[in-house]
Structure 1
């Protein structure tokens, strides 16, 4: 398959999951897992540098991008099994995993439930718990009742990026806006339900893969405190804080890549 081709698998519950490879086949595979409201292009800025060392496997979570958008709430178990079924279909026994935000929550699930499939784990701008659950009910209901994604897109962008990027008419930010506006509300609401219902505070202690936790100093979605707590729960985890809001890979790409590469290239 051409590494630039987006193709798909179909999961056991009949949902099509879109994915693509970038990079040479003889390099170790690094799986990238995305934030809610984004697609696999959220990593475009990191692809050139990462493909010097890895074969990248990017995918669109259910409800996003080129993947199907089933209605109703999603569960973290289902989002995690989507990844396992993707790895099975591609005959990938073991991969590095880098996840940001919800992608970091899915990455935690993989480290807990299928540790034999995970080599090294990078958990960026994420948390083991984002409760209490009832705080998610109103946003989910309001989103499903809204006429479109405009208000939700504005909210996401203000949570993801610093004011200087929002005020600069950044083409990068506008790309994220276009993706948000093209995302179906059911996909975001279903994913919020997965966040509402998950709690990995106890089971994160079962993660045995070498782990790096990255937090954003100014992140109001998953705070530096969330990151510190997560790193403390995972045996032997490293913890680093970058001077960012939520999308650390976009706001500070050089520092983000330095942290990720130093960790993934580290010899046992």
Structure 2
């Protein structure tokens, strides 16, 4: 599978692999790219069935995405990378880091988890996937998706209107074909048993207003990944790097830079 990849391309710099959230794409990490210019190479694929990688024709599983990411690392000759992942990106990241522990040095999991969707959520989400397949995102479904992706504090702040409008327009333009990727996330199996295999130094970032991946799911990551650290943001929702860009990007850059002589 050939993925669209935005790659800053500096072969002499340590590489950061950014794995995006469902409904969004590689551009959600634009702020991070600017912050690490000249210090890190940034590699940002769009997952199969999403973004500029185009629609899929069948359900895209989290293992499919992990396979794609590992193949991308091989193609680019990247033996060891840092990983920054949001939500679905975290589902993929923990699989990559468990399957090839030596390939991941430091890992940041933003609004992420490793568990399967609870049964009561599945009953609600499966009809939504079918609605996406029929009509895409509009009306009530669009507003529900925005409520999932962004916390109440940001949605209630008039100064953040431009941020919300930018991503509302993005989601409204998504193709019904995204349903194959959505179904893969909704139907994902648990990766919790994989967590003890991970050797990456890991920072877990959790929003207190995140209803898609609530704080207790982040706690589970911290318990399962040896030595993982938790950073909680009480007034932040699911998309932490977009809702609190300055603070989160600064913390991520500092975390990735630990141990570097030029940090």
TM-score (structure 2 length as normaliser): 0.88
Are 2:117 and 1:150 equivalent residues in the alignment? no
2:72 aligns with 86
Are 2:61 and 1:75 equivalent residues in the alignment? yes
Equivalent residues in 2 for 1:42-53, closer than 5 Å: 42-53=28-39
Equivalent residues in 2 for 1:1-268, closer than 5 Å: 11=1, 16-22=2-8, 24-132=10-118, 134-135=122-123, 136-145=125-134, 147-151=135-139, 152-163=141-152, 165-166=154-155, 168=158, 170-243=161-234, 244-267=236-259
* Structure 1 CA distance for aligned equivalents of residues 31 and 114 of structure 2: 27
Deviations 1:193-250 (A, max 9, x none): 2442320111112111111111111111111111011111111111111231011101
* Structure 1 CA distance for aligned equivalents of residues 257 and 89 of structure 2: 21
- Structure 2: gaps (5+ residues): none
**Contact 2:4–2:46 (Cα < 8 Å) also in 1:** yes
SS at match of 2:187: helix
**Contact 1:62–1:187 (Cα < 8 Å) also in 2:** no
SS at match of 2:3: strand
Q: Which moved more, 1:209-218 or 1:156-165?
A: 156-165
**Contact 2:24–2:171 (Cα < 8 Å) also in 1:** yes
Moved over 4 A (4+): none
Deviations 1:5-61 (A, max 9, x none): xxxxxx2xxxx3101113644211000000000111111122211224211111111
Aligned-CA RMSD value: 2.0
Deviation, structure 1 residue 267: 2.0
Deviation, structure 1 residue 178: 2.3
**Contact 1:18–1:60 (Cα < 8 Å) also in 2:** yes
The change in CA–CA distance for 1:87 and 1:249 in structure 2 (over 3 A counts) is: same
Greater RCO (Cα-Cα under 8 Å, separation 6 or more): 2
- Structure 1: gaps (5+ residues): 1-10
SS at match of 2:50: coil
* Structure 2 CA distance for aligned equivalents of residues 267 and 98 of structure 1: 17
